[in-house]
Amino acid sequence: MPSPRIDNLQYANWSEKIFRQMRIGGVDAVHVTIAYHENFREAVLNVEAFNRWFEQFPDLIFQGKTAEDVSLAQATGRTAIFFGFQNPSPIEDDIRLVQVWHDLGVRFMQLTYNNQSLLATGCYEAEDNGITRMGREVIREMNRVGMVIDMSHSGERSTLEAIEISSRPIAITHANPGFWHSALRNKSDRVLQALAESGGMLGFSMYPHHLKGGSDCTVAEFAKMIARTVDKMGADRLGIGSDLCQDHPDSVVEWMRNGRWSKTIDYGEGSASAAGFPPQPTWFHDNRDFGNIAAALVAVGLSAGEVAGIMGGNWHRFYANSFAGENHGKT
Amino acid sequence: MPSPRIDNLQYANWSEKIFRQMRIGGVDAVHVTIAYHENFREAVLNVEAFNRWFEQFPDLIFQGKTAEDVSLAQATGRTAIFFGFQNPSPIEDDIRLVQVWHDLGVRFMQLTYNNQSLLATGCYEAEDNGITRMGREVIREMNRVGMVIDMSHSGERSTLEAIEISSRPIAITHANPGFWHSALRNKSDRVLQALAESGGMLGFSMYPHHLKGGSDCTVAEFAKMIARTVDKMGADRLGIGSDLCQDHPDSVVEWMRNGRWSKTIDYGEGSASAAGFPPQPTWFHDNRDFGNIAAALVAVGLSAGEVAGIMGGNWHRFYANSFAGENHGKT
């Protein structure tokens, strides 16, 4: 079986059109966000929405729970959908919900989304106190059941501590290196080095606010940045986490940024004059465009094996090592 | 592998002691009740409690989700615990929670517990209007995902309609024939015949209120009743559903009967003068006593194969045909 194509972060306004685009683009697996600020019950409703789509479009998508499901997707010409949270809000204050969510298929959870959470500090807070008491317990529980710690939206200190505390490699599913484009959401050399040394994964984001030059960034510049990151982190620790937010009205970006936590509007990476979703770069509109990135990676001089790894093989290997529990008591 | 020993209904005050008694009694699988009146979130808390025990006692128990897990239990000398509800309260008014619960391992759900529910009529109501509009939809959904319809506490008409509407065989997990001991909870010949003809299963209860003579019923009388039921239903449609309610204070039987639905105390099968749990029959105190029943079934003249089936083989085969979804979209 050839190396799969995996996008390790999308949050779209899901529809048959998008699922068909995944197939046209040859995307074998997608990690989808099913919660930004939702509490437990609300996030279950989002699971229900996906269950409806799984029932409606069984020839296009199915729920992925294991690395083998990516191979099954390849073998059957469908896309495996893996659930994840961008915020720990769906576990509320209850550590035992980590296992419940793992049983429901959740495979990634961010410890924070921009703000302070019960577990860690987000990248938009002025101060970062690191991993909280509950955060240490939840990291251990996530390690136990096989749920990946995602620090994409976390502060620097919290991220470094999570790498240190976690007994299993963690992920930054969607962010770019700060050396290329300085942004609160992009990551320092120190974080990237600690991530690589611990066996963790970085997913490159195509969200314009994470790109040098924003929406005008070229695919050649993007590929060149990836090649530089290969030099720093090694080619095996890298993948794609496009942060594709397709077909959403601007009200959704407001929900992502503000949830229920603020009465005054927070513009996140945007601004009052550019409050909505920025336009996608011309070379990545949707799931049909991953070939543009693969071609640019070849053009910038990466080997066929390195490109295959970055386009999905590395995430696939990471899935295989991350999603099974340390001991589910069965063997 | 020899035929497994299965008890298809218990609701105990779970403890290491009881799990050890399951091992001493050679019980390979138990269907345990995790909800009487709990709403969705409360039933999740009960799952969490079992997850704690699974983590604490991995050498004694693990969560069973498939018929193969019964064989795994036999091979590894442990007891597979299968979840079930005695009331549809954990799906609230949301049919999509059926699949969520199936993903969390729930394999049996009663459509009613004594009273009218959103789905059907309970056996204590004066009138039985049969399966409701939502009930028809939920039966179809349970058929689809592989959750068994249990009508132990339902009214006669609702039970007959459930058998008719369901595309898969249903179960009466814990009740006895009315021809032996007339009680609102025991079942008429008409129900038993329809159940047997549709491929359904009856689990014999050792709860004293379901026994002729109550707590004084002898195991020989119990076995004779089973032999008579074999004549009516065939030996393949029968199993054990002990309704063991071990180590609970009497306050729990009050919760089982009254939940939050009544301000005046309902005594269910008891009475004001006998409000608590009745004493168990001398031949069945706990999980160590299944051998008494097997021996009595041999003594009453059933064949070794019939006894093996009733003691667990029949439930095992029923599990194999019942727990997998009609189409989970994976193949």
Contact A103 B99 (CB under 8 A): no
Q: How many CA atoms lie within 13 A of B112 on its CB side?
A: 29
Tens digits of residue pLDDT in B279-330: 999 999 999 999 999 999 999 999 999 999 999 999 999 999 999 998 644 4
Closest CA to B279 of B211, B221, B225, B179: B211
Whether residue B331 is predicted with pLDDT greater than 50 in this model: the reply is: no
Contact B58 A99 (CB under 8 A): no
A38 falls within a domain: yes
Residue A327: predicted pLDDT: 64
| ipTM summary value | 0.89
Q: Looking at per-residue confidence, does B275 or A163 come out higher? A: A163
Q: How many A×B Cβ pairs under 8 Å?
A: 56
d(CA B254, CA B258): 6
We report the CATH number of the domain holding residue B110 as 3.20.20.140
A231 falls within a domain: yes
Which of A58, A72, A329 has its CB closest to that of B54? A329
Tens digits of residue pLDDT in A161-215: 999 999 999 999 999 999 999 999 999 999 999 999 999 999 999 999 999 999 9
Tens digits of residue pLDDT in B178-202: 999 999 999 999 999 999 999 999 9
B47 has a chain A CB within 8 A of its CB:
yes
> What pTM value is reported for the model?
0.93
B331 falls within a domain: no
A1 falls within a domain: no
Contact A96 B52 (CB under 8 A): yes
Segment among B154-158, B206-210, B260-264 with least mean pLDDT:
B260-264
3-state secondary structure of B63: strand
The mean per-residue pLDDT over the stretch B250-268 comes to 91
B327 falls within a domain: no
A330 falls within a domain: no
Contact B329 A103 (CB under 8 A): no
d(CA B95, CA A52): 11
Which of B99, B104, B328 has its CB closest to that of A100? B104
Contact A47 B100 (CB under 8 A): yes
d(CA B114, CA B123): 5
Q: B2: exposed, middle or buried (C-beta count within 10 Å: 0-12, 13-18, 19+)?
A: exposed
B329 falls within a domain: no
- Residue A217's alpha-carbon distances to A129, A182, A243, B85, in angstroms, are 34, 14, 16, 56
Residue B326: predicted pLDDT: 85
Contact B52 A328 (CB under 8 A): no
A58 has a chain B CB within 8 A of its CB:
yes
Q: Domain range holding B29? A: 6-322
Tens digits of residue pLDDT in B97-126: 999 999 999 999 999 999 999 999 999 999
The β-bridge partners of A326 are: none
Tell me how many domains chain A contains: 1
Contact A48 B100 (CB under 8 A): yes
Tens digits of residue pLDDT in B58-67: 999 999 999 9
The mean per-residue pLDDT over the stretch B158-173 comes to 98
Identify whether the C-beta of residue B67 lies closer than 8 Å to the C-beta of residue B323.
yes
The mean per-residue pLDDT over the stretch A123-150 comes to 98
d(CA A184, CA A186): 6
Contact A96 B62 (CB under 8 A): no
Residues of B in contact with A51 (CB under 8 A): 96, 99-100
A16 has a chain B CB within 8 A of its CB:
no
Which of A41, A55, A104 has its CB closest to that of B40? A41
Whether residue A89 is predicted with pLDDT greater than 50 in this model: the reply is: yes
A2 falls within a domain: no
Tens digits of residue pLDDT in B128-159: 999 999 999 999 999 999 999 999 999 999 99
Share of chain B above pLDDT 90, in %: 94
A326 band by pLDDT with thresholds 50, 70 and 90: confident
Contact A104 B104 (CB under 8 A): yes
A95 has a chain B CB within 8 A of its CB:
no
A103 has a chain B CB within 8 A of its CB:
yes
